[in-house]
Amino acid sequence: MNRALALLLALTAALPAHAADPRQATAATAMGHQAADAFTAGDFAKAARQYLNAFRLDPSQSALLYGAARSEQMSDQLDLALQHFAEFMAMPGIEPARAENARKYTDEIHGLQADARAREAENAARAGDHAVAARLFEEAARLAPKRLDWLLKSAVEMQAAGQVPEARDRLRDVIARADPGSPTQAEARARLDALQPGKKAAQPGTQPSVHEDGHGQALAWTTLATGAAVALAGLGLGLSTLSDAAALHQSEATRSADGRITGTDYQSASSAVSSLNLRTGLAIGMGAGGLVCAGVGTWLLARGDARATLAPTPGGATLAVRF
């Protein structure tokens, strides 16, 4: 008797934990078809509910759980979609194509969540809540590991929040993970160098600088010299234009006995006038622009406390002056 009971228990243990009832399996399949119709019609929330209900009837049909996750993704139920995609990929015997799609859709959801976190971080940074901004940028970078610029921004916000040791660690992480010589790595190195003991830290919200001239003297002299050169070039162009205009006027004044102009023809005169007008406008623009540029340089020299910052950017470099 005991031996028979033991054999019965062993057979029971060997049976599947969720043996599908044929009627339930049929009902689940029919409900899955209805969910597919709702998905095709664009009613993704309804499709998600029907797929889940069908899967509860027959948990052996992994395609139903996949359909539920995909429908939740399309109806912006992203957290549920991630949960159900993960459950689907953990099921045994799933189709390789669906498994690959599940991984792809999971990455897409992480990307959307990362963008949302980054937008929230930007808003928090503008509001002055730097600790929250640092956390949100970190979450965004975790969801999108390739976005090292978000990881760098989290370090910047940590520094602004007074979390200097944590900011140093984060900057070292960015340097280690960024491509050698990339703008992101250069910015991280510059900021880390500025945070070393004995060096003045950059003000919150400023861009990392590769070169900073404390008094702006080099920038001031360069601006003044450039402005003077442009103004002189404009003056030279203006004088040459006046000379050519006088020559054209002399040609038009040369007339024959019957009053016709003989010094030049109409087509040549029209072309010369157009060229003179263009050169006159260019000379005036160069003169005015040069004088403004020279004035700015002179003002910078008079101020003496302007600060010039040259910061690397993905597209090149940015020059900023702080007065």
The domain boundary residue, chosen from 142, 177, 208? 208
Question: Of the candidates 179, 208, 237, which is a domain's last residue?
Answer: 208
Same domain, 307 and 227: yes
Mean pLDDT value across residues 24-45? 93
| Domain shared by 315 and 237, yes or no | yes
Domain-embedded: residue 38: no
Same domain, 234 and 201: no
* pLDDT of residue 218 exceeding 50: yes
Q: Give the Cα separation of 169 and 174 in Å (integer).
A: 9
Same domain, 189 and 280: no
Query: Do 244 and 162 sit in the same domain of this protein?
Result: no
Complete DSSP assignment for 5-59: HHHHHHHHHHS-TTPPPHHHHHHHHHHHHHHHHHHHTT-HHHHHHHHHHHHHH-T
**The pLDDT of residue 63:** 93
Question: Of the residues 170, 189, 208, which one is the last residue of a structural domain?
Answer: 208
CATH number at residue 164: 1.25.40
pLDDT at 243: 77
- Expressed as residue numbers, the domain containing 202 is 113-208
Residue 184 lies in a domain: yes
CB 183 within 8 A of CB 313: yes
pLDDT in tens, 249-278: 666 666 555 555 555 566 666 776 677 687
Do the domain assignments include residue 45? no
- Minimum mean pLDDT range among 90-104, 120-134, 237-251, 297-311: 297-311
SS3 state of residue 315: coil
Residue 82 within a domain: no
- Do 227 and 158 lie in a common domain? no
**Dist. CA 291–CA 297, nearest whole Å:** 10
Three-state SS at 254: coil
Whether residue 189 sits in one domain with residue 264? no
User: Does 37 score more than 80 pLDDT?
Assistant: yes
How much of the chain exceeds pLDDT 70, in percent? Answer: 69
- Report if residue 81 sits inside a domain: no
What is the overall mean pLDDT for the chain? Answer: 78
Question: Residue 158: inside a domain, yes or no?
Answer: yes
Whether residue 232 is found in the same domain as residue 315: yes
Q: 305: pLDDT confidence band, cut at 50, 70 and 90?
A: very low
Do 141 and 223 fall within a single domain? no
Considering the domain boundaries, does residue 191 fall inside one? Answer: yes
Contact present, 20 and 56 (Cβ < 8 Å): no
Flag whether 300 is in a domain.
Answer: yes
> Could you please report the per-residue DSSP string of 175-236?
HHHSPTT-HHHHHHHHHHHHTSTTSPPPPTTPPP-SEEETT-HHHHHHHHHHHHHHHHHHHH
Is 203 in the same domain as 221?
no
Domain count within the chain: 2
Q: Are residues 224 and 284 both part of a single domain?
A: yes
Q: What mean pLDDT is predicted for residues 71-84?
A: 93
Are both 120 and 141 inside the same structural domain? yes
